[in-house]
Amino acid sequence: MISQLSFLPFLVPLAASLVLNTPTNAVSGQNLIVSWVAAPDDPNFALLFNNEGFSSPIFLPDDANIDPHASSQISVSLVDIPARSGYWLEARNVTELAIIYAESAQFTITAA
């Protein structure tokens, strides 16, 4: 039992502590400010949009390698994102997109 527990401290530093803030005032066809709070050891991330109605998240190629320490926000275009409720953002590993570092709460994108 002790040998199993001694391995646990090595796993903790691998977890990202990044927090994605929930967007407000999102309007389809316009730009949206996405912001976050990063810890000093948080890695770069890819930003994706998700919705229960999607078969898979929308990958944003322009936001594929965000340095969370260079700034605490970016502007994202919602030109190709339809108006509907139930969206959330995901910060994922840049090279292994299956690894999710953080998710925002759900929000709505309204029609222009």
Domain locations in the chain as residue ranges: 29-110
Q: If one looks up domain 29-110 in CATH, what number appears?
A: 2.60.40
CA torsion 53→56→62→68, rounded to 10°? 90
pLDDT tens, residue order, the chain (112 aa):
444 444 444 443 445 699 999 999 999 999 999 999 999 999 999 999 999 988 889 887 778 899 999 999 999 999 988 999 999 999 999 999 899 999 999 999 999 8
Give pTM, 2 decimals: 0.81
SS3 19: strand
For residue 23, count CB atoms less than 10 angstroms from its CB and return exposed for 0-12, middle for 13-18, buried for 19 or more.
buried
Q: What is the largest CA-CA distance in the chain?
A: 59
